[in-house]
Structure 1
Amino acid sequence: MSGMTEVSSLTGRLLVATPALADPNFDRAVVLLLDHDEEGSLGVVLNRPTPVDVGDILEGWGELAGEPGVVFQGGPVSLDSALGVAVIPGGASGESAPLGWRRVHGAIGLVDLETPPELLASALGSLRIFAGYAGWGPGQLEDELVEGAWYVVESEPGDVSSPAPERLWREVLRRQRNELAMVATYPDDPSLN
């Protein structure tokens, strides 16, 4: 393995849970990878809305969050911390990137929730707030990929702000141009077949 020093980064890609993935935390999860390198990986689950309104926990951000305007459970780690993921149309290149926003991939970036919301309001295409995140230690995600737990697919900016998160798993699979599109038809309970 000595030649494999560099991990090819999956930052900005989606991990889509395969039907084989047994962890209930990630059943039919669609995870946006915000960071992936040899030190590990970090992402947020895009399709786990909670009943909590963004405005109830983060003053000023509620009206900027897209529909549904609730906090999403980003994953099982650090559930008491909030992460903001925002799409800036046009990808805000160089010095035009708004204060308080850090590009992750293309037009998708992380928002510093300490920034006054009004500084970002005009630039934001969409915003979603996540409580907690999904994390993997060094090599852990690679092991899960080898085991067939996840499909890795390209993200689209609209995935972050899908107005119907309960349909996101199927929608992401359905747009793939290969056998993954067939997985989208996988029944919720295979024992019912």
Structure 2
Amino acid sequence: MLNRPSAVTVAEVLHDWRDTVAEPGVLFFGGPVSTEGALALGLLADPRDPPVGFRELYGPVGMVDLDTPVELVDGSLSRLRIFAGYAGWGAQQLEQEVARGDWYVVPSELVDLFRADPVDLWRDVLRRQPGELAWHSTRPADPDLN
């Protein structure tokens, strides 16, 4: 989940990382599984020079090991966001949910990952999709209001 900021600042929980995270400078809810842990998603400033503790996911985006001393990472990332907890699935569960139509699988853009105000992220991503899928961006959050 990329669009659920918490009210907890990074400075309160991971003080050393406070000046490294992207705005709004808070922890994000990453999902209901193992909420005691944190995961960090980073965007490299220079893809040719990844820091210690960076594991590439795709292109310049990767996971950042929060046990790495901040001094070894600082300056090498253009953006960093920290998520408390994560979402997880059992073997083949996600594939089955996608096949059933429970999820919209659409292309992403780098700006989606680190936007300062992620509240309307879901609507904005759907709005730029072709055809009828864009219509879903106008659905109310509460289906009873439809």
Does TM, normalized by the shorter one, top 0.5? yes
1:162 is aligned with what amino acid? R
Paired residues of 1:107 and 1:157 also in contact (CA < 8 A): no
Q: Does 1:106 align with 2:59?
A: yes
Query: 1 or 2, which has the higher helix percentage?
Result: 2
The residue aligned with 2:15 is 59
Q: Does 1:162 align with 2:126?
A: no
- Where does 1:1-193 land on structure 2 (aligned, <5 Å)? 45-90=1-46, 92-93=47-48, 96-193=49-146
The residue aligned with 1:35 is none
Greater shift after overlay, 183-192 or 107-116?
A: 183-192
SS of the counterpart of 1:152? coil
Paired residues of 1:85 and 1:109 also in contact (CA < 8 A): yes
Deviation at 1:152, TM superposition (A): 0.8
Superposed CA deviations along residues 41-83 of structure 1, whole A, max 9, x for unmatched, are: xxxx101111110011112101111111100110000100010
Paired residues of 1:48 and 1:165 also in contact (CA < 8 A): yes
In the alignment, the residues of structure 1 paired with residue 131 and residue 116 of structure 2 have an alpha-carbon distance, to the nearest angstrom, of: 25
Query: How many residue pairs are counted as aligned between the two chains?
Result: 146
In the alignment, the residues of structure 1 paired with residue 138 and residue 131 of structure 2 have an alpha-carbon distance, to the nearest angstrom, of: 13
In the alignment, the residues of structure 2 paired with residue 50 and residue 179 of structure 1 have an alpha-carbon distance, to the nearest angstrom, of: 32
Moved over 3 A (4+): none
C-alpha RMSD over aligned residues: 1.3
**Unmatched 5+ stretches in structure 2:** none
In the alignment, the residues of structure 1 paired with residue 145 and residue 59 of structure 2 have an alpha-carbon distance, to the nearest angstrom, of: 41
The alignment's TM-score, normalised by the length of structure 2, stands at 0.93
In the alignment, the residues of structure 2 paired with residue 186 and residue 70 of structure 1 have an alpha-carbon distance, to the nearest angstrom, of: 28
**Unmatched 5+ stretches in structure 1:** 1-44
